[in-house]
A and B are shown apart, each in its own frame.
Chain A
Amino acid sequence: MNAKEIIARRVARELKNGDVVNLGIGLPTLIPNFLPSGITIIVQSENGFLGLGPLCDEPNPSLVNAGGEPCGIVAGAAFFDSAMSFALIRGGHVDVSVLGALQVDSLGNLANWMVPGKRVPGMGGAMDLTTGARHVIIAMEHCTKDGSAKILTNCTLPLTCSGKVQTIVTEMALFRINNGLVLEELCPGVSIADVRNCTEADFTVSPNCIATPGELI
């Protein structure tokens, strides 16, 4: 299983039956493939519907996910405009938002929308999602492609949100942010020293820190 699948599988275990979940572009869209049996979620797509599902029939040009990829809907889906979509998001009606990150820090700050002077994709819905969702989970590979740390003491890139991130899941570890960064789980084969080597931010190790159970990998 590759890093992205390990991360998606672990995030899937954070979701409760019936949760309304918004999944960011890329890695988070893998999460529904790994839901444990008995867990059904309702996926919100910020371009205007609830009940996103896999593409089962021919693609419909009017039905895409928030990344613009053709998708399907499940029975019980609902379409709406962008004001309703973000009323659901900001109004606390979305239980979980799962997003990627360029940087995330021990204060729960997230940076994922611009690298000044280089790449400025824009924030899209990410600022509203991190402000309004009840549980903000960052799902990302632990380091950048060149091996630099992404989990920092303080983000250096422009922020998406201030102090809203609660959980970070990588292919090495799971952290909670609770008055600082707390290591809660290690992937099998990964040591605390390995994590420290790849993490710029200081963190405490939860007294209950466990190896992620094998059935979750």
Chain B
Amino acid sequence: MNKCMSLHEVKAVFRDGMTIMCGGFLGVGSPEGLVRELMSNGAKNLTLISNDSAFPDSGIGQLIANKRVTRLIASHIGTNPETGRQMIAKELEVILVPQGTLAERIRCGGAGLGGVLTETGVGTLVEEGKIKLTANSIKYLVELPLRADIALIKAKRADRAGNLVYEKAGRNFNPLMALAADLVIVEVDELVDCGEIDPETVITPGVVIDKIVVSGGY
């Protein structure tokens, strides 16, 4: 099966109202080319799941600045003043999730788990509306899985089967999101033939990757 597609072809997959996960931490490890295609496609009323909302002029921050997102699930929005402004003006619904809880909720979504128990957020606003339970005399919150229609992720290198290797701190949420969406598209710097990546070094196995796009074209 040929998983490779051009950046131009990616545009056709986006629809209004979709839930989209996007890898990256303050733009590092973010699939810039895929986000550009989503920007130019014009899809709106999006629910976006990402660690943060980056900066107003880069990465997924542009989607916020262009009012394409109606609901954002993230751990941190402080680097994009536009996100805070839209939230306070009630133009954008922002659901803030502790970063480790966000990672685990996405992991659960991709791993077939019904949720996790965590102490994080107990005694804070984060516990509002959540199931709480006590086990082994410790109070926990029940945090439920997150999934998306599409995950947009970034890796350094893929082989044609979709096996992925990441680069430094660019890994972050990408390997978790790779399992947690109905359609998973990876943008890579480099595409190689099968056999060229040592199987011992593969971080994300190719079976979870649906489409591969090479940065800057292909």
* Cα distance A132–B76 in the bound complex, in angstroms: 19
- A49 to B168 alpha-carbon distance, docked (Å): 8
Q: Which of B44-100 contact A (CB under 8 A)?
A: 51-52, 74-79, 84, 87-88, 94, 96, 98-100
User: Is B172 interfacial (CB-CB < 8 Å)?
Assistant: yes
Contact of A60 among B76, B107, B168, B174 (CB under 8 A): B168
Contact B170 A81 (CB under 8 A): no
**B145 interface residue per 8 A CB criterion:** no
Residues of A contacting B94 in the complex (Cβ-Cβ under 8 angstroms): 120
Asked if B103 and A86 sit within 8 Å, CB to CB, the answer is yes
Contact call A64/B26, Cβ cutoff below 8 A: yes
Query: CB of A106 within 8 A of chain B?
Result: no
Mark B90-129 against chain A: 1 for CB-CB distance below 8 A, else 0.
Answer: 0000101011111110010000000000111111111000
List which B179-218 residues lie within 8 A (CB) of chain A: 203
Q: Tell whether, in the assembled complex, residue A62 and residue B77 are in contact, meaning their CB atoms are under 8 Å apart.
A: no
Docked complex Cα distance between A158 and B126 (Å): 10
The docked-state distance in angstroms from the alpha carbon of A37 to that of B26 is 34
A119 within 8 A of B: yes
For the complex, what is the distance from the CA of A160 to the CA of B29, rounded to whole Å? 27
The complex places the Cα of A68 from the Cα of B88 at a distance, in Å, of 25
Q: Is the CB of B88 within 8 A of A120?
A: yes
Task: Give CA–CA (A163, B119) in the complex, Å.
Answer: 12
Contacting chain B: which of A2-10, A121-129, A138-146, A174-182? A121-129
Q: Residue B16 at the A interface, CB < 8 A?
A: no
Q: How far is the CA of A80 from the CA of B167 in the complex (A)?
A: 10
| In contact, A81 and B176 (Cβ under 8 angstroms) | yes
Task: Decide if B14 is an interface residue (CB 8 Å cutoff).
Answer: no
Contact present for A128 and B124 (CB under 8 Å): no
Q: Is the CB of A64 within 8 A of B176?
A: no
A46 with B99, Cβ < 8 A, contacts A121-B77, A124-B76 known: yes
Cα of A113 to Cα of B98 in the assembled complex, Å = 11
Cβ contact within 8 Å between B173 and A81: yes
Task: Check if A53 is an interface residue, CB within 8 A of chain B.
Answer: no
From A49, A119, A122, A127, contact of B120 by CB (8 A) = A127
Nearest opposing residue in chain A for B111, CB measure? A83
**Does A189 lie at the interface of the complex (its beta carbon under 8 Å from any beta carbon of B)?**
no
Residue of B nearest to A119 (CB): B84
> Given A62-B29, A125-B98, A162-B123: A90 and B118 within 8 A (CB)?
yes
Which residues of A in the span 44-85 have a Cβ within 8 Å of any Cβ on B?
45-49, 60-64, 66-68, 79-83, 85
Classify the interface of chain A: helix, strand, loop or mixed. Answer: loop
Contact among B75, B122, B169, B171 for A123, CB-based, below 8 A: B75
Task: Note all chain A residues with C-beta closer than 8 A to B25.
Answer: 47-48, 64, 66, 68, 82
Instruction: Knowing A83-B176, A124-B99, say if A131 contacts B26 (CB, 8 Å).
Output: no
Judge if B144 is at the interface, Cβ distance under 8 Å. no
Chain B residues contacting A131 (CB-CB under 8 Å) are 118-122
Contact yes or no, A83 B76, CB < 8 A:
no
A172 CB-CB contact with B under 8 Å: no
CA gap between A68 and B25 in the complex, in Å: 8
Most A Cβ at <10 Å: residue of B29, B51, B107, B124: B124
Given contacts A68-B28, A122-B75, contact A45 B169 (CB under 8 A): yes
A62-B170, A83-B107, A125-B75 as given contacts; A120 in contact with B28, CB under 8 Å? no
Contacting residue for A49 out of B27, B88, B169, CB 8 A? B169
Q: A67: nearest residue on chain B (CB-CB)?
A: B26
- B175 at the binding interface (Cβ < 8 Å): yes
Apart from A82-B99, A83-B107, 9 more pairs, CB < 8 Å: A48-B171, A49-B168, A81-B173, A86-B99, A109-B123, A131-B121, A131-B122, A159-B123, A159-B124
Closest 7 CB pairs of A and B: A121-B78, A162-B123, A86-B100, A128-B100, A68-B26, A127-B98, A122-B76
**Can you name 11 A-B residue pairings with CB atoms under 8 Å?**
A47-B25, A79-B169, A86-B104, A118-B88, A120-B94, A123-B76, A123-B99, A124-B52, A127-B124, A128-B99, A131-B119
